[in-house]
Each structure stands twice: as structure tokens, then as C-alpha cells.
Structure 1
Amino acid sequence: MKPADIDEFFRRLAADNPAPKTELEYINPYTLLVAVVLSAQATDIGVNKATGPLFQIVQTPGQMVELGEEKLRQYIRTIGLFNTKAKNVIRLSEILVAEHGGEVPRKRKELEALPGVGRKTANVVLNVAFGQITIAVDTHIFRVSNRTGLARGKTPEEVERKLVRYVPARWKPHAHHWLILHGRYICKARKPDCPACAVRDLCAYPDKTSERDMLEDPPVPVPAG
């Protein structure tokens, strides 16, 4: 996609949703970190249902360690891979208490050293909690970037590098959220809602859907920022 088209792409997404934000519910950087770790291979809605009651009693690493793995599993048992995630959350909480004074680190290397925290999770935390310029490439962003021609790549890391390089600076702080929401509600995997797409004329996808195609699958509105 040409630089001018990339700028216009994000200008339109920004016009539709000026203040995008994560749909994961959290209280502070620590609860955000926990929520993102739990969200791997799970929906934000499912994670929020589990963390709502959990975050009423646990808001710090120390409180999580005190809760313990067995009780944590009871709170998150509806989330996929909950046994492994419970182990990771307890262990990362112990490390935060022992090595970081109970605070979530602001450096990528330290975040990625925590159990259950990969590059995508670190990018989300750095961007959402600390306002750093990162773009976390999940399945939605990977699909949108390749399908539209915004930033094609064979791996999430390749797509991330291209997005960081080519997205204009003024759009980078919120680019992550605009792309996720666009992929979640408009540029969906099974059937993209091209008639409702604000950037369809900029998109290189050759098999755009029509209004007739969408009749059997009504579009889901994008929530306001």
C-alpha cells in the first residue's frame, strides 16, 4: 500500500473511532498483564467474565501469590488452557514480587522473561499500560495487514516490522487497537463485511463481499472508544 493510502487508511479508522481502547477489562498494569496472559487462544469476552470476580479480590502480585494456584484455577476454569495459565500467572507474580518490587516492568526484555509472556503480550502491556509505541500483531492484525495489503508478511514478526516502519507516526499510538477492532468486527476471518468497511477502496483484497453476501450474517457494530 502506498504511503498516502496508509495515512488515509488510518485517518478513516480514526474518524470512525477517535479513542480506541482494549476490550480487556483491567484495573492497573498488573491486572492488564494477567488479563493479556489469560487471553491467549481465548476471547476478550470470556476473559472478562472470569477476571471480573477475580480482580475484585486480586489487584497486585502479592495478592495473587496469596490466593494461590488452586484457587486461581477456580476463577479461570472457563478459559482455555487454564491449568497452564494458572501456573504461569502465579509464577510471574512471584517473580514480580521478588525481582521487581511488585511492579510490572516497563522494559520488553524484562517482560518477556516472565512465564507466559511473549512478544505480543509484552507489546500490549507496553502500549496500553505505559503508552509506548508498539504494535502487537495478533491473528486479527495479521489477517487485516495481509488481506488489505497494508503490511504483508509470512510471520507476525515480519508484519510487525513493516507496520512499525510504514505506519505514520501520528497514528502509531493507537494503530494496534484500530487494526484489532477492524479485524474483529469488520474484516472478519470467515466473511469480511466489505460493504460496511471504511477503507474498502484502499484494500487490495480481490474477493470483497457485497451487501447480498452479508444478508445472512448481519454486521456487528464497532463499540465506541
Structure 2
Amino acid sequence: MSKSTLREVSRQAMRQRIGEIAEDLFVSRGYDATTVEDIAREAGISERTFFRYFASKAEVLFLRFEVDTHGLAEAIEARPPDEAPWLTLRHALESALENLDQESVAKRAALFRKITETAPQILAQYFARVHASQQELCEVLWTRWKVEHQVDADTRVIFRALVSSVFAVLNEVELATQERPLAERRRMFREALDAVRPAREDLAGKPN
């Protein structure tokens, strides 16, 4: 592993540590009551060092969102190259659905909803990041697809619609099943995805 790679791994580890500390403070004290100084002090670093890793307190709030997006992109890239895009999305998102059952994830999601409901500027950033995340995942899917298929504008639009639809399904399932067991969440998730399955068989594939 090169020195530059080691530095990046170290940097990401520090960002992760600061993010976890910040999340704990957001939960215990509230987002507005938590300052950058509080986060830095708990992390054992200076405020100046904090800003080497994050541009603002809000950026820390969205760290997990960024990590989850990259995780989904990696899960998509790990799927068989000849798999239909819709099936690839479904398999990649199954792991995301399992994460929703973890208590820490549920608490973070509840906190995030509370913050966005009371802070319009954070909500605006959230929508911007959702859009960027969808674009990133769509590009990963599209890159896989265009290697063996004809590239056309219509299909690219459909890809974007597919990614948007699975984000909507994830969001609605999370909201509707917060107090329900994992099995119920999976059932609702799968039924919702079945309902928005694309009509084009080359995109949808055959269910397992």
C-alpha cells in the first residue's frame, strides 16, 4: 500500500471517528446545541484540525449519507456484469434494508428527520445530496450497462427513474416500518419494488 493510500485511509478513519462522536452529541444534546468546539473537544482535536476534515457542522451530519452512497455503489459494482440493472439495484439495496434494523441506525434516522423538519437549510442540503447520490448510483449502473448494450437517451432517462424509484421505496419503507421487525420491513420493501418494476424485460431481468 502506497504512502498516499495510507494517508487517505488514515484520513477516512479520522473522519469516521469525528462523525461518530458528532452523532452521539447530536443525539444527547441536539443538533443546534452542539457546536464545532464541542465536537472537537470530545474528539481530542482543535477546531482548526476539525476544519481539515469537515467544512462545517452540517457536513458531519451528512457523513453517514456519503458513506452509505459509496457502499451502495460498491455493492452495485460487485454484482455480476451481465445482471439486469433492476436486479442489481434490488440486491444492492437488500443490505441497506438490513441496516435499518440496527438500533443505532434507527436512532440516527430519527434524529436526521427531526433536524430536517426544523432546519430548512439542512433540508435543502439533504435534497441536494440525495440528487447527487442518485446521479452517482445511476452513473455506476449506466457504466455497466453501456459496455454490452446500445446507448440511447431514452434508456438513460429510464435508468435515472429506476434509481429515483428505489430511493423512494427505501424512504417510504423506513417511515412506515420504524417499529416493525426486519421480516416485515423486507416484505414491504420487496412488494413495493415489485409494484414499480420496469416493464422492459432487458432492464428488469427475471426475479430469483
Structure 1 length-normalised TM: 0.28
